[in-house]
Structure 1
Amino acid sequence: MRVILCGYYGQDNAGDEALLVCLLQMLPATVEPVVLSANPQTTEERYGVEAHYNRDCPKIWQLLGQCDGFVWGGGSLMQDVTSVVSPLYYGGLMAIAQMRGLKTIAWAQGIGPLQRPPLRWFTQQVLRGCNGISVRDEASLRLVERWDLKAFLAADPVWSLAAENASPSPSPLPMVAVNLRAHRLLTLERLAVITQALKDFQQQTQTHLRLIPLQKSQDLAIAEAIAVELPGSYEILYRPDPRECKGLFRGAEFTIGMRLHSLIMAAAEGSACFALSYDPKVSRLMAEVEIPGWELANLPMDSNELSQIWQNHFQQRQPWKEAEPLQKSALQHQALLQKIFVG
């Protein structure tokens, strides 16, 4: 059985690449994956799978005639907060796969927010045509159930990702991991406040800051801009392989993160976390696993206040010990793949 895997792959976003790795690991042995990627050559080399360019419409049409199944492979593909094009693209491919008779799965999805009624209706229709649906958070489950659709809830698959050690010798100082990404809510003014707060936090706590970009194109420049302002020990570590990226959070006693999967990776490795939420999916994670943090839109604009908040959480930190139940829950997404593609 050949199955098309469709997601935000090949963009060197470690979070979405981690979802792909988890999906590949969970596929039944009888399934041959065919990955749609923005960088198919890298995807093939890194994971040893067949991959094709995700904007090559004639090739995708051909593949839909040659394959038996189609999977949305994790993430927040059907939402219109960051992009209107995204749900049209992913939903359109799913709809065509269904019309051509493929078995279709919405796998480990974060559904919504969907603020535009036509996109909400469209999402409902393509989900109604799926052979199976799994979601990664309570809000997505409630939305799907309001549409009278059946889905099951399990933790984000990245909780179950096995980390690989990819960091240099550890610093003798307590290590704090930091991940920030470019976003309209991270204005220059807010970035200046965060940078000053990190400077003060480092001076007061005598810590080593490890700046971890998860997506080079959106995170690295911010990490570099912060690094030159820091008064103490720091490093910038970027690992495009998601297993190595997760390994960078190993040993972090405290993590300040924007990206959803920076927080999941860090917490899964036992780090206490503080979230800076720029997206509803991050806020959902904060609520469901009780990670403290701020909505970025409501960030205190006093760097001293922000630094003091981080210092308090750092001083009161406890190793995060709730990962095991979430790791077991994440593995439940495998059952859906087995049910639909094997029976």
Structure 2
Amino acid sequence: MSTPATPAQWRAALKAEGVAFTEFAGWTTRGRDAATGKIFGPVHGVLNHHTAGANSLATIATAGRPGLPPPLAHAYLPKNGVVVLVADGRANHAGLVAKNVFDAIVAEKPLPKQDKTQTVDGNDSLYGLEVENLGDREDVYTRGQYDSWVRFNAALCRLHGWSAGSVAGHLETSVEGKPDPAGPVAGYGRRGPFQFTMAQLRADVAERLAHPASWSPTPQETDTVNPEYVNLGLVHSYQLAPGLWDDIEFTTEWTDEPDGHAQNSPAFVKGAARFTGSLSLRFEGLPEGDVVQVRMSEYDDAGALKADHPIHEVIGTAGGSYAIVPLTKRLAASRSMRVRLLNQSDEQVEVASAVLTVLVWEG
């Protein structure tokens, strides 16, 4: 629990973190406190959005939307990466937040799936950042935009003594099915193009917080190492029993230059390395509405489980169930990465296809 930042604290925190920013006229006194009779704060985290539009500054700061008075966020982040401070008080950005998710943000724990039966007003205690993007999953976040995005969240976390667990996305808190933020990112640091996920944003914020505020990631232009192309799959389908986590054991390697990556092995890459790509899955026999969970897991050289990463859920549909799971991560030396599945139905499920395609950078 923290008192909301004063204008002076906003400026100092952003400047220290290397965030380029400007100030929209009147931002230091703009808010919905007087209009609602509710005082903004105490604050517990940062809620991230995309605008689902272009040139949205006026809408967010002074115009609002039908039935939703401004301000619609505390800050706006356009394509050029220069944050605009919009409001210092209560803002209409979060709406109703699932209480179980809100409690996890407060406790800085992994965020659960929303329980829509109990809600709180997120506008009371969450900072809001609107990032310019059309929200069509084709419009690209620029490198400068994403870099400022990471720095902005880290600046507020550092100011209040929070971890990256205080960073959330609207799609994780909303009980109304909001999809934001989402979309492709041009790159960050040494990383090339990737799909935005909140898990990746939190990982990048956590990386910043592990360094002094003046730290910057190694820029891409210094990376002269060409990535390796890894393309793995299954020779035969197999049955996935209910109730136990089970590694996908990739049994064939489709690549022009095989490099020994994980053939006949559950590990698809070994560290130290960075990788980005995707896993395409097809299940047969998964009952409609039932779930198979998918997650990446890190193991040490002795085969001991060291870390689990966020879960992706595949929900059963008629005629087969399909999913594409993003795979992006940094992997420390003496670690290997596996993909594990958990069949939560009561029936055996056929893993009909699993095709993994990633680019891997050593070091």
Greater RCO, 1 or 2 (C-alpha within 8 Å, sep 6+)? 1
**Normalized against structure 2, the TM-score is what?**
0.26
- Whichever structure has more strand as a proportion of its residues is 2
**Normalized against structure 1, the TM-score is what?**
0.27
Structure with greater Cα Rg? 2
- Whichever structure has more helix as a proportion of its residues is 1
